[in-house]
Structure 1
């Protein structure tokens, strides 16, 4: 009788595990595009000291949803231990039902406005958040807002 109870317990546990895996798979398959971005929008608050940047974005028709996001990353070099690092962006904004990551231009890190400079600095954000419609670079000092979008070309040279 003891073996029957063990088998019954194993079957119940396996049933729960299979059910949980199927539930997660179904949830992953049916998440609408932008669900990750909407989660970020609920996660971060807007700091009071950034009123100039927020006002600038709102003047250009963007609604600032959240601010100051940090994305933790790990870097492994030559099979060594993972080294922690972070990637930052300043705001998540929306305009006409489209989501944009916002980077503020800083005097100590001026933006290189060439195609290769933009690729080196901003492409990582587009790759991390493919549901995003672009990256907005705002310069509150010059009252300038520029939108950057990347497109994959057909590879023929």
Structure 2
């Protein structure tokens, strides 16, 4: 036969779990915009190189570097296939955050609307708090900021 203490312990444990879940949801709901980016900025170190110097010369503060975002792709009922998305740096300027992709000769960026969409839109969708994506070319000493905006349909 059950003892009164067993039921009481189960009720207390269930109450604590419900309280914890409500507290976590409330914290997530009221989390300020950009907190995910601030966590990323604290996570990565920065190695000094030509790209970092170029970004700093353009007025950016380099917060962290070399980030890898793990993703899973599921097609139909197949098991999840792992993949990754990389970006080179997280920078800030005027209290706004930017992701940085380096323009590399072996993976050049096609500077058309469709080329930029294919290459950079996933970053803008994963990090909507970013002001834009900085494309830096250390060889050409050029920095361009790419922003996406949704236009009214016709």
Q: Which bracket does the TM-score occupy, shorter chain normalised?
A: over 0.9
Normalising by structure 1, we get a TM-score of 0.95
CA separation in 2, counterparts of 1:11 and 1:52? Answer: 60
1:19 matches 2:19: yes
CA separation in 2, counterparts of 1:25 and 1:81? Answer: 29
Cα deviation for residue 93 of structure 1 reads 0.2
1:121 matches 2:114: no
Corresponding residue for residue 147 of structure 1: 145
Cα deviation for residue 80 of structure 1 reads 1.0
User: Deviations 1:67-124 (Å, cap 9, x if unpaired)?
Assistant: 0000011112231111111100000000000000000000011111111110010000
User: Deviations 1:47-67 (Å, cap 9, x if unpaired)?
Assistant: 24xx21001001111000000
CA separation in 2, counterparts of 1:23 and 1:77? Answer: 35
Cα deviation for residue 22 of structure 1 reads 1.1
1:66 matches 2:64: yes
Tell me the C-alpha RMSD between the 2 structures: 1.1
User: Deviations 1:112-154 (Å, cap 9, x if unpaired)?
Assistant: 1111110010000000011111000000000000000001111
* 1:122 aligned counterpart, secondary structure: helix
Structure 2 unaligned spans of 5+: none
* 2:3 aligned counterpart, secondary structure: helix
CA separation in 2, counterparts of 1:4 and 1:47? Answer: 61
Aligned residues: 154
Normalising by structure 2, we get a TM-score of 0.96
